[in-house]
Homo-oligomer: A and B are copies of this chain.
Amino acid sequence: MSFAPWRSPLARALHRNRSKAYSRYPQLATVDAGGRPANRTVVFRDFLPDTDNLLFITDVRSAKVPQIAHQPYGELCWYFTKTREQFRLGGHLSLITAQDDDPAAEQTRRDLWETLSANGRQQFAWPEPGQPRTVPGYEPFDLDTSPPLPTFAVLILAPERVDHLELRGDPQNRHQYWQDSDHNWRSQAINP
């Protein structure tokens, strides 16, 4: 397959900003059942192989899970501090949970679980996120064994629209990318 045309500037930004771990921490906006926006930092894990889809992980008990069930569209805002450029990626959100029985999806979930450190896995055994904190409940849990804990899910963003703004330059440069009715990507320069 050929990748979407915004993959090349995004790959360049990831490369040029690679010295900073936080260059992989963009912000994901979703909408709750009351129609209000929610926004939180997420960790970009990788692209799903041979696709333009971005992979993240989440706890199925987190607030974003019912939000995505209500409105499966999100917008990721990704600001790169060193090169001073922003990507906004809007698109469809979906989850791979323990209930998924598609073999490729199961494999993706297992593969991402394998990439986590012991500490990273531990968090999926912690008490329910967002609930009042009670002191017990954070004892280390034996997670040496696969499979992934049932609270562990993969979050997939399939971009449909990308806006790339480069603050360097006077005037600044901004490009928009979108899919036409045949799902071919198109792009144009727009005013910043």
Using a CB–CB cutoff of 8 Å, the interface residues on chain A facing chain B are: 20, 22, 25, 27-31, 35-41, 71, 73-77, 79, 81, 86, 88, 90, 119, 123, 126-133, 137-138, 170-171, 174, 176, 188-192
Which of A27, A30, A132: most chain B Cβ within 10 A?
A: A27
How far, in angstroms, from A191 to B132 measured CA to CA in the complex? 6
Residues of B within 8 A of A39 (CB): 27-29, 37, 39, 75-77, 88
Determine which of B35, B133, B170, B190 lies in contact with A130 in the assembled complex, contact meaning CB atoms within 8 Å: B190
Check A77 against B189 for contact (C-beta < 8 Å).
no
How far, in angstroms, from A73 to B74 measured CA to CA in the complex? 17
Shortest beta-carbon distance, A18 to chain B, in Å? 15
How far, in angstroms, from A119 to B126 measured CA to CA in the complex? 49
How far, in angstroms, from A37 to B68 measured CA to CA in the complex? 11
Shortest beta-carbon distance, A167 to chain B, in Å? 9
Given A35-B31, A190-B131, A81:B81 Cβ within 8 A: yes
Determine which of B71, B81, B129, B174 lies in contact with A20 in the assembled complex, contact meaning CB atoms within 8 Å: B81
A22 (CB) vs chain B CBs: closest residue: B81
Residues of B within 8 A of A81 (CB): 20, 22, 81
Given A27-B27, A29-B75, A126:B37 Cβ within 8 A: no
Shortest beta-carbon distance, A62 to chain B, in Å? 10
What would 5 more interface pairs be, CB under 8 Å, given A35-B71, A39-B75, A130-B176? A31-B31, A31-B36, A126-B171, A129-B190, A137-B191
Q: Which 9 A-B pairs have the closest CB atoms?
A: A29-B29, A29-B39, A29-B37, A39-B77, A27-B27, A133-B189, A39-B75, A22-B81, A27-B77
Residues of B within 8 A of A138 (CB): 171
Which of A123, A133, A192: most chain B Cβ within 10 A?
A: A133
